[in-house]
Amino acid sequence: MTPITPVHYMVLSAALFIIGVIGVMTRRNIIVILMSIELMLNAVNINLVAFSNLWQNAAGQVFVIFVICVAAAEAAVGLGIILAFYRNKETVNIDEMSLMRW
């Protein structure tokens, strides 16, 4: 069995990212779409940690902390928007969220 190289981690990261992209594009439930975005952020984090391990430089892990921080902020604000929208329109289907389309 070949040793595990950074290429393995990159392929895993690409696959997880594509799973997130497919989730964003095919699902209509906005909560699932936000979860797919979390999957994509996790794919990016895997990449950062793999390269941090490759270069033996801890800066990549610091960036992962920032990404997690932004993901937490994004989840809080996004879910707040979803709650506010649901209170007005009684839906979480993004096909019905076209208030600002002209």
Contact set for other proteins, span 62-101 (CB under 8 A): 62, 64-66, 68-77, 79-84, 86-87, 91-93, 95
Among the listed residues 66, 64, 69, 67, the one whose alpha carbon sits nearest the alpha carbon of residue 49: 64
d(Cα 51, Cα 57) in Å, to the nearest integer? 8
Among 58, 88, 99, 102, binds other proteins (CB under 8 A): 58
Among the listed residues 97, 73, 71, the one whose alpha carbon sits nearest the alpha carbon of residue 85: 97
In the bound complex, what is the minimum distance in angstroms from residue 63's beta carbon to other proteins?
8
Residue 61 binds other proteins (CB under 8 A):
yes
In the bound complex, what is the minimum distance in angstroms from residue 98's beta carbon to other proteins?
14
Asked whether the beta carbons of 39 and 20 are under 8 A apart, the reply is: yes
| Residue 93 backbone phi and psi in degrees, to 5 | -85, 125
What residues numbered 31-50 form the site for other proteins, per CB under 8 A? 31-32, 34-36, 38-39, 42, 45-46, 49-50
In the bound complex, what is the minimum distance in angstroms from residue 71's beta carbon to other proteins?
7
Asked whether the beta carbons of 69 and 57 are under 8 A apart, the reply is: no
What residues numbered 7-26 form the site for other proteins, per CB under 8 A? 7-12, 14-16, 18-23, 25-26
